[in-house]
Amino acid sequence: MISAAYYSSRGGLEINEDFVHATVNGNKCCAVVADGLGAYGGGEQASREAVRAIFSGYRGYNASLPDPGQIGVMFQLANAGVYAIQCPGCEMKTTAAALFIEGDRACWAHVGDTRIYHFYGGELISQTVDHSLPQLAVDIGKIDANGIRFHKGRNQVLMALGTKEGVQPEISETTPLHGGLNAFLICTDGFWEYVYETEMLVDLCKSENPKQWLEFMRLRLQQRANGSNDNNTAAAVFVQL
């Protein structure tokens, strides 16, 4: 059984440039989260277009589990869609992270620093790697992964949708899901900046459903946020096999 929940908040900012959508249809699920980059203008249009385009592609493949090639096409179309709505002085861009599930299989893809976490058996099984400057610093050994949250270059994303040249999203293998509860969390940096991975695990162990899981974590975020915090958005998916 699959269940999903999502939310999006403008945080302490005037405009919410995040966008999220998720659908569950029997044993199938698609969830997409996008974070419009503030520096370029029009971030809210960019994130909305990215989610629309990826969902359009998903429906075009009869809403089945797409293969890596099909996911690549979806992201290229999303990139083209965002690029097409740019205008002089508003070269909008966005991150995007998408999760696809059918039965006991899942796959996912992302561009930028919107993350996808997979939890199983009370452990964090996998987490996407950011396309960002702080992640580069981790890769070359200057900081450890925990340092990403506090890195001064945290807002510098190295790959985003909305480029003329196209994008190369990071696409997972089709991943078999084991019996019991598999939980996925897709979230923008405005979320994971304030909610740590162990806390995600703890709150998952307390939660009956994805909505409750998000509520527990949002309370942590809110108790840490300083009133001028970023937009924050997350989608949570439970796959009970």
Name the site residues for other proteins (rule: CB under 8 A).
121-123, 146, 181, 196, 198-199, 201-202, 204-208, 215-216, 218-219, 222-223, 225, 227
Instruction: For other proteins, give the closer residue by CB, 56 or 209.
Output: 209
The tokens of 121 are what? Answer: 């058996």
Instruction: For other proteins, give the closer residue by CB, 64 or 222.
Output: 222
Instruction: For other proteins, give the closer residue by CB, 168 or 222.
Output: 222
Contact indicator for 43, 37 with CB cutoff of 8 Å: yes
CB of 206 to other proteins, least distance (A): 5
Q: In Å, what is the CA distance from 217 to each residue of 73, 90, 164, 236?
A: 33, 34, 37, 11
* Helix 68-84 vs helix 43-60: crossing angle, to nearest 10: 140
CB of 197 to other proteins, least distance (A): 10
Secondary structure (DSSP) of 1-63: -EEEEEEEE-TTSSS--EEEEEEEETTEEEEEEEEB-GGGS-HHHHHHHHHHHHHHHHHHTTT
CB of 208 to other proteins, least distance (A): 7
CB of 220 to other proteins, least distance (A): 8
CB of 199 to other proteins, least distance (A): 6
Instruction: For other proteins, give the closer residue by CB, 61 or 216.
Output: 216
Contact indicator for 188, 9 with CB cutoff of 8 Å: no
Instruction: For other proteins, give the closer residue by CB, 62 or 228.
Output: 228
Instruction: For other proteins, give the closer residue by CB, 14 or 123.
Output: 123
3-state secondary structure of 176: strand
The tokens of 135 are what? Answer: 């992640």
Contact indicator for 94, 34 with CB cutoff of 8 Å: yes
CB of 91 to other proteins, least distance (A): 32
Please give the Cα distance from 96 to 19 (Å, whole number): 9
